Amino acid sequence: MRALSELLRSLPYHAEAAKQPTFRNPDGIGFKLMNIRQVATGKGLGNVSNMDRRIWAEFGNRPDEVRRIATAIRLGITVVGTEPLPDVEQELPEGRLLTALHVRRERNPKVRKLLLTNRRQLGLSCEICELSRPDLDISMQEAMFEAHHLVPLSEAGERNTRLADLALVCACCHRLIHRAMVLKPGWVSIAEARSMLVPG
């Protein structure tokens, strides 16, 4: 419990809260795990919250995914260190740290430039709605598009980004696909986004 407590208290956005000795302390974590055990098995502490039930309903039958997400969070803590996380409008189901790392990855100008250079040969268009404006100057065309990572951090880790990991999407579709991942909740592929967002 102590190691888990120290890990959770080390999350970059808990710096202020972690100054309080009661915040995510080993005893509190033990109680929370017993609440989850109660939901899962009927044995454990009886002070179960609706959040405990929702967490178990969402992740109880997906231990491999939970393991991947936990590994990505541990790695994310070491990658971020004490540097502040970028602001995120909408938090993905994987949590604030992985959402912030995902946003930081997508905002990397080198990654976007690599994708634009690759796609420029074919003509720039959104892989979701097919928006294209070849009538505009190339710098104006490029301003319309963003790089979207196709693989969540919980699966990819902090590896070097490959072109196969990226989709070129217009700014509007990019916001919508991220919103869809918050509402679903879960990762949304380009094909799923297309079927959700493109009429007909």
Residues 75 and 170 in one domain: yes
Give the angle subtended at the CA of 95 by the CAs of 62 and 128, to the nearest 5°: 85
Which residue bears the tokens 């454990």? 44
pLDDT computed for residue 102 by the predictor: 66
Which residue ranges in the chain fall short of pLDDT 50? none
Residues 77 and 176 in one domain: yes
pLDDT computed for residue 188 by the predictor: 87
Residues 103 and 113 in one domain: yes
| Contact present, 169 and 145 (Cβ < 8 Å) | yes
Cα–Cα distance for residue pair 54/36, rounded to 1 Å: 10
Domain boundary among 14, 45, 61: 61
Q: What is the dihedral of CA 116, 158, 94, 185, to 10 degrees?
A: 30
pLDDT computed for residue 21 by the predictor: 84
Residues 78 and 48 in one domain: no
User: Of how many residues is the chain composed?
Assistant: 200
pLDDT computed for residue 116 by the predictor: 92
Residues 86 and 52 in one domain: no
* pTM: predicted TM-score of the whole model, two decimal places: 0.58
- Give residue 5's domain range: 1-61
Domain boundary among 35, 61, 87: 61
Residues 157 and 194 in one domain: yes
Q: Quote the number of domains for the chain.
A: 2
The Cβ of residue 72 has, within 10 Å, a number of other Cβ atoms equal to: 23
Residues 66 and 36 in one domain: no
pLDDT computed for residue 168 by the predictor: 94
Which residue bears the tokens 């956005």? 13
Nearest to 12 by CA among 89, 101, 91: 101
Facing residues of 99 across strands? none
Residues 39 and 131 in one domain: no
Residues 181 and 121 in one domain: yes
